[in-house]
């Protein structure tokens, strides 16, 4: 069994959000099932139809529950109106609810009752290298990603089939079943283009022409991926929030294996001499930052910077009450001073900022204003997470 880093409080109601198959149900089963007075899974058709018709029927099922009893509801976004009843039960009966879901979109866009601060919010992701420990393998993480069920599969064929099934049954079909979009064909075309745009700066107009829909529709499609925890939007850096919102963001799928499965390019291992390897390594490092930032509650903000002449900073990390930290991500096994020419210039220009190069080079060194470190140790140092975990 893999020990997950997420540590939800046990004496308070909370939401647990995350994409399908990241292990939400497993955590609820392993950590809370023995304490639960009632457990409801809305993926179960009988439960779904019963509570969608009469959300208040859950009151009858918990009427005799003593105070502080634990009620688990899985995939709560399927019946948003249920949250109005949950709110009353928390206030009037002093019950603790654990509410999991793979989409916050239906709840937010449907003006669902998010319990007015009476429930904490946690997010669960695919496995991190800290959770996999000695079982972590970088090449495997880049080739296949780290969805929990996939890491248990031993053959290449099973991993390919698992990822293809994940893409076909969830990304394409269930998003429609959840009524997040009205037409499946353009969304399917969009997913292919989105996979090609993984790690890239987004041009909504260009993507719209490729897919055959408007730029606003493309922007909405990316919002769907973000709000179903399938993707991450990385904004452009600016000290002005207004400017940040007007500059094009970058996009990253939530797991390294998914975009290759969408494009059906995961039949062979990534070659470290290719640009795709470098892009996927960048995706992996940024996803690890996001996951560990969430689990260790560091409250960092992330962005990227691209100058008018095309120079780029892969990641800017802004921790509360600290100067920004500039991060260059390189997949090379050895980092030389000449590899960091433009990054050194940018680091020197941005006063009061720390600068790191994270790579596969395990030898730590100082190159001008830049600290070069292995990616795994560098993430922990930048976020201020203990290396003894």
**CATH number of the domain that residue 344 is part of:** 3.40.1350
Of residues 170 and 220, more confidence is placed in 220
Q: Please tell me whether residues 227 and 99 are part of one structural domain.
A: no
Mean pLDDT, to the nearest integer, of 59-86? 89
Q: Does 333 map to a domain?
A: yes
- Residue 12 phi/psi, 5° resolution? -140, 145
Both 351 and 215 in a single domain? no
Kindly state the DSSP code that residue 190 receives in the 8-state scheme.
Answer: H
pLDDT at 108: 64
Confidence class of residue 65 from pLDDT cuts 50, 70 and 90?
confident
Q: Are residues 135 and 104 in the same domain?
A: no
pLDDT at 47 over 60: yes
pTM metric for this prediction: 0.92
Q: Let me know if residue 241 belongs to a domain.
A: no
Compute the Cα dihedral for 17, 20, 24, 29 and give only its sign.
Answer: positive
Shared domain check, 138 and 271: yes
Helix (H, G, I), strand (E, B) or coil at 124: coil
Last residue of a domain, one of 123, 146, 169: 123
Name which residue leads in pLDDT, 238 or 123: 123
Asked if the structure places residue 242 within a domain, the reply is: no
Q: 133 and 110 share a domain?
A: no
C-alpha neighbours within 13 Å on the C-beta side of residue 329: 23
Q: Do 94 and 169 form a contact (C-beta atoms < 8 A)? A: no
Residue 327, pLDDT > 70, answer yes
Query: Do 134 and 70 share a structural domain?
Result: no
What CATH code is carried by the domain that includes residue 111?
A: 3.40.50.300
- pLDDT confidence of residue 246: 55
Residues 71 and 153 in one domain: no
Same domain, 134 and 119: no
pLDDT band at 180 (very low <50, low <70, confident <90, very high): low
The C-alpha atoms of residue 66 and residue 64 are separated, in whole angstroms, by 6
Mutual orientation of helices 184-196 and 215-227 as an angle, nearest 10°?
A: 80
Q: Please give the Cα distance from 376 to 174 (Å, whole number).
A: 35
In the chain, beta strands by DSSP E = 14-17, 36-41, 70-74, 96-101, 120-123, 231-234, 250-253, 301-306, 312-318, 325-329, 354-359, 365-367, 370-374
Does residue 82 lie within any of the structural domains?
A: yes
- 245 pLDDT exceeds 60? no
* Tokens linked to 12: 């308070």
Q: How many domains does the chain have?
A: 3
* Span of 28-42, 123-137, 363-377 with lowest mean pLDDT: 28-42
Task: State the pLDDT at residue 87.
Answer: 86
Instruction: Report helix, strand or coil for 200.
Output: coil
Could you tell me if 23 and 82 lie in one domain? yes
Q: Both 146 and 272 in a single domain? A: yes
Mean residue pLDDT of the chain comes to: 89
Domain boundary among 123, 142, 157: 123
The answer on 119 and 146 residing in a single domain is no
State which residues form the domain around 192: 129-232+254-277
Percent of the chain with pLDDT over 70: 91
* 178, 103 contact by CB (below 8 A): yes
Core vs surface per residue 135-168: b (16+ CB within 10 A) or e:
ebeeebbbbbbbbbebbebeeeeebbebbeebbe
Which of residues 88, 123, 158 is at a domain's end? 123
Helix (H, G, I), strand (E, B) or coil at 135: helix
Is 9 within the bounds of a domain? no
């Amino acid at each position: 069994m893999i020990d997950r880093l997420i540590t939800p409080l046990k004496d308070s109601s909370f939401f647990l959000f995350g994409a399908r198959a990241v292990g939400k149900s497993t955590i609820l089963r392993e950590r809370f099932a023995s304490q639960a007075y009632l457990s409801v899974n809305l993926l179960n058709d009988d439960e779904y139809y019963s509570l969608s018709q009469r959300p208040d029927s859950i009151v009858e099922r918990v009427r005799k529950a003593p105070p502080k009893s634990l009620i688990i509801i899985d995939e709560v976004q399927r019946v948003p109106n249920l949250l109005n009843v949950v709110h009353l039960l928390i206030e009037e009966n002093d019950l603790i609810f654990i509410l999991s879901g793979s989409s916050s979109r239906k709840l937010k866009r449907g003006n669902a009752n998010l319990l007015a601060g009476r429930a904490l919010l946690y997010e669960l992701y695919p496995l991190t290298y800290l959770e996999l420990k000695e079982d972590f393998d970088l090449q495997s993480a880049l080739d296949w990603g780290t969805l929990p069920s996939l890491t248990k599969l031993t053959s290449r064929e099973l991993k390919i089939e698992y990822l293809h099934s994940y893409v076909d049954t969830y990304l394409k079909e269930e998003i429609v079943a959840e009524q997040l979009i009205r037409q499946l064909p353009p969304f399917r075309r969009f997913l292919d283009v989105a996979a090609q745009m993984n790690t890239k700066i987004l041009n909504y107009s260009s993507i719209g022409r490729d897919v055959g829909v408007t730029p606003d529709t493309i922007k909405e499609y990316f919002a769907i991926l973000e709000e179903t925890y399938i993707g991450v939007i990385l904004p452009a850096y600016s000290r002005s929030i207004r400017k940040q919102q007007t500059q094009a963001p970058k996009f990253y799928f939530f797991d390294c294996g998914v975009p290759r499965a969408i494009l059906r390019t995961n039949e062979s291992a990534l070659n470290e001499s290719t640009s795709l390897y470098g892009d996927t390594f960048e995706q992996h490092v940024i996803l690890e930052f996001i996951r560990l930032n969430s689990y260790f509650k560091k409250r960092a903000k992330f962005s990227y910077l691209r100058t008018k002449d095309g120079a780029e900073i892969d990641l800017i990390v802004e921790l509360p009450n600290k100067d920004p930290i500039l991060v260059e991500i390189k997949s090379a096994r050895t980092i030389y001073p000449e590899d960091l020419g433009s990054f050194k210039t940018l680091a020197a220009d941005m006063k009061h900022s720390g600068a790191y190069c994270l790579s596969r080079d395990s030898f730590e060194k100082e190159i001008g204003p830049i600290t070069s470190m292995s990616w795994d140790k560098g993430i922990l140092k930048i976020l201020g997470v203990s290396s003894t975990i």
